[in-house]
Amino acid sequence: MKFKFKGIAAYEETENNYIGANRDFSLVKEFDSFESAIDYVAAHKGFLLSEDGKSAFNVLTISEIN
């Protein structure tokens, strides 16, 4: 089963306490079950590396895809 993990990287401006979304991230990985996909994210403390390996993002949603 394939799953798509979505998240965003945020930035913070300390001058005015603004936090905004900087970039959307997603990653597709295969697992045996939805529970296995959730366990994988949990084992990585809610973060995954982007496909290019240059950024990490906090996973917000997991969706099964075809």
What separation in angstroms does the CA of 18 have from each of 11, 34, 57?
8, 35, 19
- For the chain, domain boundaries: 2-65
Residue 37's DSSP bridge partners are none
Extract the runs of DSSP E, i.e. beta strands, from 1-66: 2-13, 18-30, 47-49, 56-65
pLDDT in tens, the chain (66 residues): 999 999 876 666 666 666 665 677 889 999 999 999 999 999 999 999 888 888 888 899 999 998
Q: Where are the alpha helices (DSSP H) in the chain?
A: 34-43
